[in-house]
Structure 1
């Protein structure tokens, strides 16, 4: 018997209440809506840094700019290379490529979908200026292995934490690692102001350089237009920061609920023939679950895409997985390695499979009820069986 077409409506996203309204009114009434005259951005930076255990936070316009700024502070530019996972949103590579660097894609772990440290080690060369692990879907990459590689090679890490607000690895928050980390507050992220980003810095000199570069090279108290470095305008406005302060206030509770629901849904999905959910390294002891990801090994990309459409039609907010970055035309416009698509694909067999056979569900599904987790699994099973 076919499952009912409709799954009960999941909680909406983005979420807001009177906290955002109060904060926005406060920001409006202070009379200054940019960071140099107001207090919301500065207070948000303090709160966000404290929440993640970091010494410094710098709020910026979006997550892509956060990556670009962090890479520039690390010395990435023409003549350098940045190692990135082949399976990620393309901002990870484009941030390096826009600085004139070459992005070097490497393969991922078949269980967690995070960057494979062994593949990273093989890719390190004399021009490698940074290694960028992406904490895929909120699961922190293997920071034990990556920190050792960084220490042994002298190549710094930059954490792409766009999915990892509030994540922990063996009790360590993202800001407690001695490496730069970049976040996104785009509309679908775990906390959002529609757009926005932030960079966490472990020490003050990096923060000071980043502040200059995110404000056209201009010091905060400058009145004579003495621009000390090159840069751009990556400043966050006061209204976005006011919204994000409210979003941060409810983040921890949302993560706790997702951490309750995710093991149940993972177990239910893994019980379906032909379905394999993203695995979890037990060292990742807090996963905020930006996505609920699962594979359909052996399925074609065309059939996977058709299944996504059917899940959406039945009330499940489903999406096709990221495309391998080297299979996107934009990857080849500038800063691409001297390898063909086929050569990169041969080096990234897990990425080749995952980008074709993986589906992900919006994190708002994990804010639903236990009954909804069962309904999701039922719909997935029924859709697969009748496709």
Structure 2
């Protein structure tokens, strides 16, 4: 009997005849942009319904989704947006590109999502939005954050780039009462290579966002009567046709990933020196965008070398996000009046996680149970040499 020594992970993105049929359908309808075709409109309805939202607006990418949402929420020069210090840089840059100041706060050491108490301490009279990032598909503490929003009057913008299909105590992302932004970049849980979407809880915000994403031009305008300032953030018909197919298989993939993470996380927990991410149990349906774990105390250089060894062994492994205040990009515009070291003191968990965290691409969790054991064995062997 042959015994496999290396895992066999499925490729990503995944597609079948559904995507191919959608692309042909979009091609043959004769109109390839959203104002003349039907694919974007159909995708928006389906995505909104799937996530329990009143409205969805499809846009060019996830970064633009955040930027557009913040603009509609009134973020601009002179305002502040609270963001987690441990996140992908788009969370802060979306606010900074609007002329606002991004204010990093610490994250929970177990979930890696924004610490609600740290966010509360950072609220000022200039705060216009609080942006929880649902790290790896485990939702941030939406109960505490909703209470904070109600007490301060500062709205939430969920960065749900990792959280397609996730649920918090039975509620879908669009049922949590706040705006949410998604990404469909090539590595995401649903993808058309690029793309994004914003969920809106009310019609007025949605209509404003529609104008701003379409050069400020009303749908029925024939005389170039641009109503408000905007940009061209419209998604094309081909991308929407692919996303419609991707959405249909999302729940099945989430179920598989959930089963595999239950196995893999237990195996990782048994490895000396390895601590897997622990999601808040109130996230009753996590989407598992990443399989994340920490090797506390390893240090950034050794962590990076460990990632290289895992990749050489066949795992789709990556270093955790760098704390945003540790990047040059963060300080180019819209940065708070402080220093990286001062922010590091305020954000000790983000500082540590950014140096000792490793994540595996979610296609890892679409493999077999045998592959979970092989993956854990590779990690255990690599960690033992640190």
Quickly name the TM-score band, shorter chain normalised: over 0.9
Q: Which residue of 1 aligns with 2:267?
A: 268
Q: 1:6 to 1:222 in 2, by over 3 A?
A: farther
Q: Which residue of 2 aligns with 1:373?
A: 372
Could you list the per-position Cα deviations for residues 196-230 of structure 1 after superposition, in whole angstroms to 9, with x for gaps in the alignment?
00000000000000000000000111100000111
User: Gaps (5+ residues) in structure 1?
Assistant: none
Q: Which residue of 1 aligns with 2:157?
A: 158
* Deviation of the 1:39 alpha carbon: 0.0
Q: Aligned partners of 1:76, 1:100: CA distance in 2, in Å? A: 8
Q: How does 1:1-387 map to 2 (within 5 A)?
A: 7-387=6-386
TM-score for the superposition, normalised by structure 1: 0.98
3-state SS of paired residue (2:384): helix
Q: 1:226 to 1:215 in 2, by over 3 A?
A: same
Task: Note if contact 1:5-1:314 (Cα within 8 Å) is conserved in structure 2.
Answer: no
Q: Aligned partners of 1:221, 1:302: CA distance in 2, in Å? A: 57
Q: Aligned partners of 1:287, 1:217: CA distance in 2, in Å? A: 36
Task: Note if contact 2:7-2:375 (Cα within 8 Å) is conserved in structure 1.
Answer: no
Task: Note if contact 2:85-2:324 (Cα within 8 Å) is conserved in structure 1.
Answer: yes
Task: Note if contact 1:137-1:289 (Cα within 8 Å) is conserved in structure 2.
Answer: yes
* Deviation of the 1:300 alpha carbon: 1.1
* Deviation of the 1:7 alpha carbon: 1.8
Q: Aligned partners of 1:236, 1:6: CA distance in 2, in Å? A: 43
Q: Aligned partners of 1:5, 1:169: CA distance in 2, in Å? A: 38
Task: Note if contact 2:107-2:113 (Cα within 8 Å) is conserved in structure 1.
Answer: yes
> What RMSD in Å do the two structures reach over aligned CA positions?
0.9
Q: Aligned partners of 1:7, 1:237: CA distance in 2, in Å? A: 40
Q: Aligned partners of 2:307, 2:6: CA distance in 1, in Å? A: 15
Could you list the per-position Cα deviations for residues 281-323 of structure 1 after superposition, in whole angstroms to 9, with x for gaps in the alignment?
1101000100000000000111100110110111111000000
Could you list the per-position Cα deviations for residues 109-163 of structure 1 after superposition, in whole angstroms to 9, with x for gaps in the alignment?
0000000000001000010000000000000000000000000000000000000
Q: How many residues align?
A: 384
Runs of 4+ with deviation above 6 angstroms: none
* Deviation of the 1:6 alpha carbon: 5.3
* Deviation of the 1:177 alpha carbon: 1.2
3-state SS of paired residue (2:67): helix
3-state SS of paired residue (1:294): strand
3-state SS of paired residue (2:158): strand
* Deviation of the 1:386 alpha carbon: 2.6
Q: Aligned partners of 1:146, 1:244: CA distance in 2, in Å? A: 30
Task: Note if contact 1:180-1:202 (Cα within 8 Å) is conserved in structure 2.
Answer: yes
